[in-house]
Amino acid sequence: MIDKQDSYLETSGSAMFTFGIAKAINKGWINALTYGPMCILAWNGVQSKINALGQVEDGCQGTLVAFDPAYYYNRPVDVYAEHAYGPVLLAGAEVIAMLKKYKFIEDRGVIVLGQD
């Protein structure tokens, strides 16, 4: 729940946002200089949830539509939540395409669009 500071971090949602941002950059819909560094930071967060066995950690099990926030607070997470894998793979592929198209560098701790 992105508007609740005390809810857990869920990997597939973060991967979906990362994919969407990278895709928009690659299509030229949004500016790479403005959004690329954020996208790289988002991907770093997503990839940190891939363990040594290649499993995606903190994927929430499937949800229904509910109007009670407690339903979402208490959703179980595990590495067998299959629907976490698709968004992570899509995000990774789109970030790879972005990195082939644009050169990003780290300058004094800040990721910026580099020059060839």
- The residue behind tokens 């179980």 is 76
pTM for the whole structure: 0.83
pLDDT value for 64: 66
pLDDT value for 98: 93
Contact 62, 10 (CB under 8 A): no
Contact 81, 12 (CB under 8 A): yes
- The residue behind tokens 């067998």 is 80
Per-residue model confidence as pLDDT tens for the chain (116 residues):
667 777 777 888 899 999 999 999 999 999 998 999 999 999 999 999 999 999 999 887 777 676 777 776 777 778 887 888 999 999 999 999 999 998 887 766 667 777 55
Contact 105, 111 (CB under 8 A): yes
pLDDT value for 29: 97
